[in-house]
Amino acid sequence: MSANEVHPYNFPASQANDFERKGHPGKFLKSITCTTGTTHFTGSNYGVGGVVVSSGATGTFYFSGGGTLPIDGLADSKRILDFSLSSVTVTAGTVYALIKNQISK
């Protein structure tokens, strides 16, 4: 990757090396935008440990240890909800799933 290319972390490639060498600071390192349909949090989506629910969102959260929770009552909570999810089904609106930073260097 040349110095003029944009790295996946949205920084010029020459600046992204700090993230690769030192790790990612903060609790979360990636977000997944979930709209109508089911999103599974396995494979490259593994590690969801938080969600933000947009206003008017509906659907169901599926917890990694079992059980479900309707999204409806959590819409527009204006905070990160600390949930360990295996999947989410969104019937309306948007849910932002946050991948936990589990890598320490």
Please state the domain extents for the chain.
26-100
* Interval 58-62 mean pLDDT: 97
Taken as a whole, the chain contains a residue count of 105
Residue 1 predicted with pLDDT over 50: no
Q: Which phi-psi region, left, alpha or beta, contains residue 81 (left: φ > 0; alpha: ψ -120 to 50)?
A: beta
E strand segments, the chain: 28-34, 37-40, 48-53, 58-63, 68-70, 85-92, 95-100
pLDDT attached to residue 42: 94
CA distance 54 to 64: 22
CA distance 55 to 76: 4
pLDDT attached to residue 23: 74
> Band of the pLDDT at 104, cuts 50, 70, 90?
very low
> Band of the pLDDT at 75, cuts 50, 70, 90?
confident
Residue type for 76, please? Answer: D
* Interval 75-96 mean pLDDT: 92
